[in-house]
Amino acid sequence: MSISVTVEGKVVGRKQPIFSDWRIELPPAEGNRGDSLKLRDLISSTVVKEVEAFRTRQQERKLALVMSRQDIEQGAQAGQILPGERDLGQSVDTEAAVDAALQAFVDGLYFVFIDEVQQTDLDREVFLRTDSKVLFLRLTALVGG
Asked if 36 and 126 touch (Cβ cutoff 8 Å), the reply is yes
pLDDT digits (tens, 9 = 90+) for 17-47: 777 677 877 665 555 455 568 999 999 988 9
Bridge partners of 138, per DSSP, are 11, 110
Domains delineated in the chain: 3-51+93-138 (3.10.20)
Distance of alpha carbon 124 from alpha carbon 120, whole angstroms? 8
Which regions of the chain are under pLDDT 70?
A: 1-2, 20, 26-36, 61-67, 82-89, 142-145
